[in-house]
Amino acid sequence: MNKSTCLTVWMLMTFGISYSSSAFSQMPSNPFSTDTLVVSPDSALRIRNLSPYFTLHVDSTLSYNLEINKDPSHYFWFLKNPLLGLKINKDNGQLTFKADKSFFLSGRLKYDFPYKIGVGIQNLQNPSERLDTSFTIQFFTTEIIPSHLKPSVNSTLFVDEGDTVSFRIECEEGSFPIETIGFYSNLPIENYQEVKKCDDEFKWSPPYDFVKGTDSQNLKLVLLYFIGTNKFFIRDTTLVKLYVKSTLNYPLLLQEYNRTVTEVRTYTQQLKYGFVQLDKKVKSTQTTRTTFDMTSSSAALGGTVFSSLASASAQTVGKILPGAGVALVPVKEAVAPQKIAEQNSASLVRSSIKRLDYQLHENALAGQRDPEIAKKISKLNEELKQTQIQLIDVPIDENTDMTEQQVNDYFNSKKVNKKYKMKSSG
């Protein structure tokens, strides 16, 4: 190897060592280092294993331990609006519950109903550290107890037309309660109070013309069907047999009775006006005839007196006066003949008035709903018609200046009653 070659090798070796030193000085001290994740402490209180929904079979037992992300010795557990028998251990969050069948039979718990239960946990040292949440419990059973409808009355009822029948539709709840109630009947009825849910009241008043004359025994059978349905459209039907009996249309008959009473009283008042006119005619005639009788008697007595006197002229007058008194008798009959017809008519009118007043008193309504109202209307109409026929020829003149009260006072006066009162023959 010559001198130039040795120099070249030396330079390459020197340059390589120098480059290697520089490269190693620029390399990191730990070429295998990796990125690291900084983990922050778990500070928020939370329940690790809370199940939002529990489904329990009847007669089964629930035992579930709730866990938190912190030391449980510093906290206590509690429940809000818990179910009957549901408990939680305040120290460790242990949920326990026995779904006893008696709870459901007594109605304190229901099947297929979501019960929302509140649960909370509280820090014993720090009151501000607290957690409130909830979960749901629902119960089911493979033994289905059907729900039933029943009326609050007997299944067979009788009601009169115009009266009101009312009763409640009650529910015997089973596994799944009845939610809606439908209704229909074998005959179309109107104006009834509808039943839609349990404990609603059915109310209906049969109209007076509901039972027809062609119905057997004046009865009509109405079948009332009530159909209860639960959430699964399982139905239960109850039947009420309602027998409607024909009866009087009392409001209409009461109007008829009042109208008849008004007609009788109006006609009676007209007869009183006629009686006053007749009685006044009889009274005027009797006054005139009494005047003639007194004049005739005075003339006859005067003739006797004059005949006993000594003078001839007086005796002559005494002979004339008795004849004059006798002459007044035909004059009296011509001027004021006896009003026999008028007096009889007045007596007849007065007795008719008394009879109609008696019939009004005798056929007065008894109580608020007199069952004899139809008979009493018929009796009053019959008496009114007979009286009108009997007095058809008696003139009834209301053209008088007397008021109704004055006419009544005149008719009921003691003098008039004494005049027309029947006297005993003895």
Residues in the chain predicted with pLDDT less than 50, given as ranges, are 1, 3, 7, 9, 17-25, 289, 292, 306, 321, 325-328, 331-337, 426
Residue 289: the pLDDT is 45
Q: Based on the fold, state whether residues 58 and 131 are members of the same structural domain.
A: yes
Q: Which two tokens stand for residue 347?
A: 């007596």
Q: Is residue 11 part of a domain?
A: no
Full domain range(s) for residue 268 = 251-288+338-420
Q: Based on the fold, state whether residues 343 and 267 are members of the same structural domain.
A: yes
Q: Based on the fold, state whether residues 110 and 226 are members of the same structural domain.
A: no
Q: Is residue 313 part of a domain?
A: no
Q: What are phi and psi of 146, to 5 degrees?
A: -70, 150
Spatial neighbors of 380 by CB under 8 A, at least 6 apart, are 257, 260, 261, 264, 359, 360, 363
Q: Based on the fold, state whether residues 259 and 216 are members of the same structural domain.
A: no
Q: Based on the fold, state whether residues 164 and 135 are members of the same structural domain.
A: no
pTM for the model stands at 0.45
Residue 29: the pLDDT is 53
Q: Based on the fold, state whether residues 267 and 180 are members of the same structural domain.
A: no
Q: Of 140, 172, 192, which residue constitutes the final position of a domain?
A: 140
**Which amino acid, one-letter code, is at 80?**
K
Q: Of 140, 158, 184, which residue constitutes the final position of a domain?
A: 140
CB 88 within 8 A of CB 171: no
Q: Of 86, 105, 140, which residue constitutes the final position of a domain?
A: 140
Q: Based on the fold, state whether residues 363 and 283 are members of the same structural domain.
A: yes
Please tell me the total count of domains within the chain.
3
Q: Based on the fold, state whether residues 87 and 220 are members of the same structural domain.
A: no
Q: Based on the fold, state whether residues 243 and 273 are members of the same structural domain.
A: no
